[in-house]
């Protein structure tokens, strides 16, 4: 299995913190967001490579980080060549870019470089092996949060039977988070999704399209997943991790 971390955004909402530093390399406590993600990833024995996709602006920052890091797994940094929000590829465009650039034909685990989770990714992997289908992470959220998230409904054994992005009238309180495992056989459907002109931006758009074509399951994790997209969210995570 290959791990792909999507870190090619420009994080303009976090300016001035991210004017000259990629969000994934911001410190949370004593470690960067990216280091915390990778430490969690290395608990999955099947993962044998880690691929990080950056933009042209921050590519060298990730290369410098890689040169100073000491992970047992090979880490590859990819430059998607974009220079700003006007020409960015979007999360799914970047995923396709890495798959092609690295000629990946294995199962993949995909994570957003600004999502910090406090549960073990190994447990998610074990769930994926049990259902033997594409899967994503999800949990129950408060009613007032549901309209700003991707909301799913579940059928037997956790199979997704409905998926709606930011619904005005949520049909459930179970939200999907940007942590996915895709089987290698499914990756050709990403080509189909993008070739049809579907939205390449948010990573949740693909499983929302995919569940109508093949089984996709939701792993209900016990814990939290923080989307570090604003100054308030960053301060909250800093407070939570300051003693860890």
High-pLDDT (> 70) share of the chain, %? 99
Q: Phi/psi class of residue 92: alpha, beta or left (left: φ > 0; alpha: ψ in -120 to 50)? A: alpha
Measured distance CA(192)–CA(128) in Å, rounded:
23
Q: How many CA atoms lie within 13 A of 230 on its CB side?
A: 3
Q: Give per-residue pLDDT as tens, 222-239.
A: 988 888 888 988 888 888
pLDDT of residue 101 exceeding 90, the answer is yes
Which residue pairs from 144-151 have beta carbons closer than 8 angstroms and sit at least 24 positions apart in sequence?
Answer: 145/175, 146/170, 146/172, 146/173, 146/175, 149/175, 149/176, 150/175, 150/176, 150/204, 150/208, 151/175, 151/176
- In the prediction, which pLDDT does 95 show? 97
Measured distance CA(244)–CA(242) in Å, rounded:
6
Q: Phi/psi class of residue 97: alpha, beta or left (left: φ > 0; alpha: ψ in -120 to 50)? A: alpha
pLDDT of residue 244 exceeding 80, the answer is no
What is the model's pTM?
0.94
Ordered structural domains, the chain, with CATH:
2-241 (3.90.550.10)
Q: How many CA atoms lie within 13 A of 213 on its CB side?
A: 14
pLDDT class for 146, splitting at 50, 70, 90?
A: confident
Average pLDDT, the chain: 93
CA terminus-to-terminus distance, the chain: 29
Q: Give per-residue pLDDT as tens, 149-201.
A: 899 999 988 999 999 988 888 899 999 999 999 999 999 999 999 999 999 98
Q: Which two tokens stand for residue 138?
A: 């999800």
């Amino acid at each position: 299995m290959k791990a792909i971390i999507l870190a090619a955004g420009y994080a303009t909402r976090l300016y001035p913190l991210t004017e000259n530093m990629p969000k994934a390399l911001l410190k949370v406590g004593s470690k960067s967001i990216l280091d915390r993600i990778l430490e969690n990833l290395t608990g999955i024995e099947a993962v044998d490579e880690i691929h990080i996709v950056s933009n042209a602006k921050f590519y060298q920052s990730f290369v410098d980080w890689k040169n100073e890091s000491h992970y047992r797994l090979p880490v590859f940094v990819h430059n998607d060549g974009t220079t700003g929000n006007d020409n960015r590829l979007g999360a799914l465009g970047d995923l396709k870019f890495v798959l092609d650039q690295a000629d990946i034909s294995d199962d993949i685990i995909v994570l957003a470089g600004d999502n910090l989770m406090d549960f073990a990714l190994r447990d998610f992997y074990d769930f994926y092996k049990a259902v033997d289908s594409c899967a994503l992470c999800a949990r129950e959220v408060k009613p007032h949060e549901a309209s700003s998230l991707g909301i799913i409904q579940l059928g037997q054994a956790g199979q997704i039977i409905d998926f709606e992005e930011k619904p005005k009238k949520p049909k459930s309180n179970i939200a999907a988070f940007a942590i996915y495992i895709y089987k290698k056989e499914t990756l050709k459907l990403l080509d189909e999704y993008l070739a049809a002109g579907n939205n390449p931006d948010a990573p949740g758009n693909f499983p929302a399209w995919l569940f109508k074509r093949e089984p996709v399951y939701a792993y209900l994790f016990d814990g939290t997943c923080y989307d570090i997209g604003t100054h308030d969210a960053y301060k909250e995570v800093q407070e939570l991790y300051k003693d860890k």
